[in-house]
Structure 1
Amino acid sequence: MAAKTVDPMVRRSFLMWLALAPLLICNLFPFAVMISTALTPEQDIYAQGTQWIPETFTWRNFVDMWETVGFGGALVNSLIVGFITTVMTILVAVPAAYAMARRPFKGMQAFRIFLLITQMFSPVVLVIGLFTLIVGLGLLDSLVALSVLYCCFHIAVAIWMLQSYFASIPIELEHASWLEGASKAYTLRKVFLPLAAPAMAVVALFTFIGAWNEYALALALIRSSETYTLPLKIAALTGGRYQIEWHHVMAATFVATIPVSIIFIWLQRHLIAGLSGGAVKG
């Protein structure tokens, strides 16, 4: 009886996963340590010897962390900042990118290069000037002012990404809608934007994650603990203390990753749906 041959596609897939296994382990290892520490009793964390899997899972660490460090307020603040930043960025970037894709003008290539150059300036480089500006406007310790600054730093790359994608959408689809008697506003809302939904989802995801994780500007502009965002609140757990409560730090870090993961999964589902059905719906 002849031996069964392995499908080349299966073999290639197995070899690819085998090659990616070390990278996957390196990426997942910090998360495993984080979850393990978050579930370890406090007295066992400082015991001699490394114990990767705790003997008893202490779910109380999450409750204590939430009650003692004011994590809920910081979570709400980060959600507010992330939502405002994302909405403002999309509202500004979509019309700008659409105008660049459908109404090319002289010097547009230079303007696109300028957008990229602006991304070379880190918020850390501009933090002193931005701090002086915010103080002069009387907006220190304001989540809205922080969101506006985040929006300013994300608009350029958002326009760049959206303009490239918008240019790939055939303009003939809009022409066909206009010939049917539809207005430009109706065509934009019912034909163009559904086709552009995948790119808008990607931009929204990157914008939200950027605002969610940003630390330098928040540290400079946020003063009171009531308006702390999550990065500031988690950093406060490791600074100015005689003994760092690592079980609380890791519990807070784990909970902070949950909203981003949920948003990513939700947008990924809509992204796949838009890619597979956008043209048909249009």
Structure 2
Amino acid sequence: MSAGLFGLLDDVAVLARLAAASVDDIGAAAGRATAKAAGVVVDDTAVTPQYVHGLAAERELPIIKRIAIGSLRNKLLFILPAAMLLSQFAPWLLTPLLMLGATYLCYEGAEKVWGRFSKHGGHAAHSAPVTAAGEDAEKQMAAGAIRTDFILSAEIMVIALNEVASESFWPRLIILIVVAIVITVAVYGVVAAIVKMDDIGLGLTQRASRFGQRVGRGLVAGMPKLLAALSTIGTVAMLWVGGHILLLGTDTLGWHGPYGLVHHAEEWVHHVAGVGGVLAWLTNTAASALIGLIVGAVVVAVVHLLPFGRKDH
């Protein structure tokens, strides 16, 4: 009887170790998948604060909460089931769909670059604040933000799915759920901190402490600069991530030339003593961003030539 009990306890211990290892593996895979989606996450973080610009201070956090819930609903109820079905029954579609999403990222990035040079500022949905008051106006604004988030969320989830495509069904599902929750909490937590930064700064300027007043003025003055920096970083990240996905995708589909050229360039600079690894990474990053800009510029030109793509400024 005691031998059987000890045997059972030993089996439980083995299962516990296996479960702990599985949790570690899932956590590591979720971390890798989240990191791969970083470029889209930065753009999502940069875009969202512009939707609540102009609203009353007390309405900013409730609106961000509404958008965050909508974003999580997008990921878990719509995108995740579609992604799981795709990976289970048509995994060969993953690379083409990933490249399609990457092309969209390149288009968005190139359009923002074009907007800066032409002084038109890119998509109106990304740049025009909603200042109208009232519940209906807030619902309309939140719905617009959630629609934009759907596209970014879909790309995030497909990038994450591509990283864990080799996992079995249940670990893959758990990893994607973790990625969806972590990214949503991270993005909208940062967004909430950004949009309240000027309010916190104003509060500090009214303190008796001179140091607090200086910090408060710095926060208020830094808010527009932070948003501008995030927008620039988001644009570069979209071109880089989009171009890199296209570079790897063409190689996977059998066109090895572009990836081969970049790989040879990486190997050439990798031998530089001390900084070879950094130079190799920078070479790949610059090449990916350039590819993203070229592809995006072509798509922008095509879209603007089409009747529905022309914009009156």
Larger helix share, 1 or 2:
2
Q: Which has the larger radius of gyration?
A: 1
Q: TM-score range by the shorter chain?
A: 0.3 to 0.5
TM-score scaled by structure 1? 0.38
TM-score scaled by structure 2? 0.35
